[in-house]
Amino acid sequence: MRGEGRSRLTRRTRVFLAAGLVLAAGTAALAQMSAEKIIPPLTGAQPPMEELPASPTPKWTVDDIRQMRAYPDQPPVIPHSIEGYQLSVNTNRCLSCHKREFTQGSGAPMISVTHYVTREGQMLADVSPRRYFCTACHVPQANTAPLVKNTFTDMSELGVGHAGDQ
């Protein structure tokens, strides 16, 4: 019979499919190339298995001066040494100074009330298990060069005033 061995796709459809495949492959290649320019490689040695000496461990800033936060919801950094602090399922040395009932004697800032709330929004008498391991969010401060250049600009530097300042 006529057309029995032929493909059911018309020539026009095949051209459109081929053009679509070329366009998709080109877009993916361009996206990968642009991502390589924007995101610096944070990988190790080249070739990958080459052994390099480790960089010296940075010294922690231990001046006990509270640091300014870089953005509104940033967890505060730890301005003192935590070397030797025990932080396990059974013990959390951070709470011996920062828990509500110990702040007056220690002079340490009290942990936020958000640390006493469960995922469901229920207020607890003790620190919520999801907020128990402090170093999951809070880190000691060290004077090191950033891995990636920071281009963040605070709203106050953009000339935006406070509400009601007109």
CATH number, domain containing residue 131: 1.10.1130.10
In the chain, the number of structural domains is 2
pLDDT, one tens digit for every residue, the chain (166 residues): 555 555 577 888 888 888 888 887 777 766 666 555 566 666 666 777 788 888 888 888 888 888 888 777 889 999 888 888 888 999 999 999 999 899 999 999 999 999 999 999 999 999 999 999 999 999 888 888 877 787 877 777 777 666 666 5
Distance, CA of 94 to CA of 92 (rounded, Å) = 5
Residue 47 lies in a domain: no
- Do 127 and 81 share a structural domain? yes
- pLDDT at residue 138, rounded to an integer: 92
Q: Looking at the domain assignment, is residue 153 inside a domain?
A: no
pLDDT value, residue 75: 92
Pair 118, 130: CB distance under 8 Å: yes
| One domain, residues 139 and 62 | yes
* Confidence at residue 118, expressed as pLDDT on a 0 to 100 scale: 92
User: Are residues 79 and 141 located together in one domain of the fold?
Assistant: yes
Judgement on whether residues 90 and 116 belong to the same structural domain of the protein = yes
On whether residue 23 sits in a domain, the answer given is yes
Q: Is residue 165 part of a domain?
A: no
State the amino acid at position 117 in one-letter form.
Answer: V
Burial string for 2-41 (b: 16+ CB within 10 Å, else e) reads: eeeeeeeeeeeeeeeeeeeeeeeeeeeeeeeeeeeeeeee
Q: Is residue 25 part of a domain?
A: yes
**Whether residue 141 is found in the same domain as residue 113:** yes
Asked if residue 93 is part of any domain, the answer here is yes
Q: Cβ atoms within 10 A of the Cβ of 111, count? A: 20
Residue 110 in domain: yes
Paired with 87 in beta bridges are 92
Task: Please check whether residues 65 and 98 belong to one and the same domain.
Answer: yes
User: Which residues form the domain of 113?
Assistant: 58-145
